[in-house]
Structure 1
Amino acid sequence: MREPQIDYAAVFRALPGMVALLTPDLNYVDANDDFQRLAGRTREQLLGRYIFDVFPENPNEPAAAGMRETEASMRRAAATGERDTMALIRYDIEDPTRPGHWQEHYWSPVNAPVLGPDGQVALIVHRVEEVTELIRAFGRPGGDSRARVLESELYTRARELQEVNERLRKAHARDREVALALQAAMLPPPGPTGPHVTAVRYRPAVGALNVCGDWYDLVDLPGESLAVAVGDVVGHGLAAACVMGQLRSALSAACRVAEGPAQALDALGLYARSVEGAESTTAATAFIGWGDHSITYSCAGHPPPALLRPDGTVIFLDRATDPPLGARPEHIPRAQARTPFTEGATLVLYTDGLIERRTEDIDTGLARLADALTRHRRLDPEALADALLATLLPSNGNTDDTALVVIPL
């Protein structure tokens, strides 16, 4: 069946309700017929102009905050790539035929980003419902005074909700900033480890919620060995960062005294039972023996490490996988496996943000990782880490934390 030929420009013009398109700098690109009609501006009066030059704030209403809040909402949408819904606002419009005369208006706006091919915000869709008459209709036919009281009451409640929402937004932003700073302070810096140089990366989630639960760690062991670990705490924000710090420190200490990675995860699991919020944490630990060219590993509910061989083939170290920390009602010793490696191989440990997508089976993500490793196998560790993030993370930003460790063997 042939696809219908749709004139999307005509569809845009005919859309019911006020819709305008703006650049991330908030200049008008287009406006549909309803927007032009209800705003009292022609298309020519809008295109290419800065929104607040066209619609300045009413100087006779100093308490009104329509312009300030509309600008903040649009800039959030442009900065985060996420839709921003506003509460009811009062935003008066100057009568274009009578300069200095302002018409009282109430609006319910939504600002939605449109991403370009590079994943960056290219346009802002500004959709507005004009609710002036709806607000004024409250209280009729009980008289104009009654209508004005109800109008004022509804507007006041809407402003209070907007102020509460803004306080919550700022509190959440502060929580995120503190959590990220705490996590950065607790994660070890990248740099030389033993005879090799590792590459490490941490990418917080773009969506501001699922942040600060992931970690990585590198521990030099006696006898030309290295312990490497990655983990993922269930939860987000400052609480997850605190739990992450406790578990990372505990596993780092356990790796220094344990006979192998399974025993280290055993100790971590017992410790996690006493840490609130540590339940169902996942972790993967590997002990690399440079002398005998071996990797001994154990996973607690975590995606398996990937071993990239010099010939470009990839195997996943999945022969020692057990449930996450605290998932069993009773403690049972964890599994452990060992595999040899040849010089020139690369070991990659990561958290699920690198491979998992809500609409996909995890095997699809693992296959995508294996393919990316094979294609970029000739890159040095730093370049390989960057290539994996660029290839595997969504172009519009990752929705979950991602930690990544690349170790040349």
Structure 2
Amino acid sequence: MEGQRRHAGGSPDAGRPPVPDGGIDYHAVFRALPGAVALLTRDLRYADVNDSFTVTTGRSRRYLLGRYVFDVFPEDLDDPRATGARSLRASLERVLATGQRDSMSLQRYDLRDPERPGQWEERYWSPVNSPVLSPDGRVELIVHRVDEVTELVRSRLSDTAGERAAERAAELYARASELQELNDHLRRAHAREREIALGLQQAMLPPLRQKGDREVAVRYRPASTALNVCGDWYELVDLPGDRLAVAVGDVVGHGLPAAGVMGQLRSALSAASRVAAGPGDALEILGLYAREVEGAECTTAVEVFIDWERRTLTYSSAGHLPPVLLHADGRAEFLDAATDPPLGARPEHAARPQAGCSFLPGSTLVLYTDGLVERRGESIDVGLGRLADCLSGHRPEGSTAESLADVLLTKLVPDGAADDDTALVVIRL
């Protein structure tokens, strides 16, 4: 942006690429926007501002660029009612933490006259802060748009003069401040619920239990958004002989209710797997149990029975995304031959299907929930293809289940980009 070029020592337009014939000069559009807009860096310094922003704030572009927001617009510590700077800081920090747009209620922020120390002018603003995300989902810039509404507030009071006008203005601002406080309280309450839900999930998810010298890696990454903690889970069950049952599931819903349902279903499947003839029977039992658990309807789950002695996999899916068998030669095979509706979704009871396949030593089995592959506005087939490419492309000599799990999360779920929880199990066969 312009601020970055200016700091490099060139003129404002130095290094600007030419606009192609028939193209749009977005720099010119930004400069001409009628609303006051600034671009802020991650450390909350001005990267660029449009003309309306300089006019509205009374600060020149040269004065603003590269400077820290709250050095330019400090808080009026002498007026306890002027909380605009404090509220803006909290909003910008939320955008950086969540990668989500944050709209603020009416704010009072009095502008200090840079030429007359100690002089402040009462002003009212309506700010909105939106993230600009990099391809990996990281917040790179913040678009800070602010509409000055001082004249609007005054015009609404134009029919009332003198002290009554001042009282009305104070009342309007007080109500806006109360709304801001209520929003902040709700955010804190949601954050607290998220913390409790995460703690509950982590307490109920089983610890990693090695099966002899078998390599097993498990990962659980919560959603980056504050309110979207879900009921993703995994389970590992030792079976008689050289066998292991492994499952992942995803409860519909968010927060504490989903975490509670997750715990019940995981425990029920663990018990069913120990007595069932195969994963189809285990999911059939779980489906019957889910009908009696409020909030368990339409939960998805997939389970695989691994038999190392016979080198076979037997699997069944209740509406869940297919596990992947990564063969030793790098070929990724989706295990999708035994897919049935989610738990509790069928009006009448029916046996669950199951299918099987063989594997060779050096193969790897991967089970996961949709947070690993689903992206908003994108076909699920694109996400599955991305997973297959990532698996096939990562076959360094001596790689382990742990290293592969780390690679999958790093490449497919960058920090701050997850809209949903992600549970992942990787087993070297």
| Alignment partner, residue 407 of structure 1 | 427
1:206 maps to which of 224, 230, 238: 224
> How far, CA to CA, are the matches of 1:125 and 1:65 in structure 2?
21
Q: Any idea what the Cα deviations from partners look like across 1:126-153, whole Å, max 9, x if unmatched? A: 1100000100111323323443333223
Question: Paired residue for 1:59, among 47, 67, 77?
Answer: 77
Residue among 246, 250, 253 paired with 2:264: 246
Q: C-alpha distance in 2, partners of 1:118/1:338?
A: 36
Q: Provide the alpha-carbon RMSD of the alignment.
A: 1.9
**1:106 maps to which of 124, 134, 156:** 124
Partner of 1:339: 357
Residue 360, structure 1, aligned to residue 378, structure 2? yes
Closer, same or farther: CA 33–230 of 1 in aligned 2, 3 Å: same
1:18 to 30, 33, 36: 36
Aligned-partner residue type, residue 265 of structure 2: L
8 Å CA contact retained: 1:24, 1:75 = no
**Which residue is equivalent to 1:384?**
404
The 5-angstrom pairing of residues 60-139 of structure 1 reads 60-116=78-134, 119-139=137-157
Aligned equivalent of 2:392, options 366, 370, 374: 374
Which amino acid in the other structure matches residue 165 of structure 2? A
Q: Which moved more, 1:347-356 or 1:364-373?
A: 364-373
How far off its partner does 1:395 sit? 6.9
Query: Aligned to 1:39, which of 46, 52, 57?
Result: 57
Q: Secondary structure at the match of 1:4?
A: coil
Structure 1 letter corresponding to 2:264: Q
Which residue of structure 1 lines up, in the alignment, with residue 6 of structure 2? Answer: none
- Name 1:217's counterpart in structure 2: 235
- Give identity over the alignment, percent: 64
**Greater shift after overlay, 282-291 or 148-157?**
148-157
Residue 111 to residue 247, structure 1, CA distance change in 2 (3 Å):
same
Contact 2:98 2:416 survives alignment (8 Å): no
**Residues 277-317 of structure 1: per-residue CA shift (max 9 Å, x gap):** 11100000111011111111111111111111112222221
Residue 295 of structure 1, aligned match among 297, 310, 313: 313
Q: Deviations over 1:28-69 (max 9, x none)?
A: 222222222221222232222222222122234213211111
Question: Shift of residue 394 of structure 1?
Answer: 5.8
2:136/2:414 contact within 8 Å kept: no
TM normalised by structure 1 equals: 0.95
* Aligned partner (choices 157, 174, 179) of residue 161 of structure 1: 179
Q: Which of 327-336 and 148-157 deviates more?
A: 148-157
Q: Please list every run of 5 or more consecutive structure 1 residues that lacks an aligned counterpart in the other structure.
A: none
Q: Structure 1's 261 and 74: CA in aligned 2 closer, same or farther, altered over 3 A?
A: same
Q: Distance in 2 between matches of 1:130 and 1:407?
A: 58
CA distance in 2, matches of 1:39, 1:397: 34
Moved more, 286-295 or 93-102: 93-102
* Kept in 2: contact 1:90–1:105 (CA 8 A): yes
Q: Quote how far apart the aligned CAs of 1:265 are.
A: 0.9
Letter matched to residue 214 of structure 2: H
CA contact (8 A) 1:211 1:236 kept: yes
For residue 215 of structure 2, what is the aligned residue in structure 1? 197
User: 1:117: Cα distance to partner?
Assistant: 5.5
Cα gap change, 1:84 to 1:337, in 2 (>3 Å): same
> Aligned in 2, Cα 1:300/1:194: closer, same or farther, shift over 3 Å?
farther
**Alignment length (residue pairs):** 409
* Distance change (3 Å), C-alpha of 1:265 and 1:35: same
Q: CA deviation at 1:24?
A: 1.8
Structure 1 stretch displaced more, 217-226 or 106-115:
106-115
Matched residue SS, 1:193:
coil
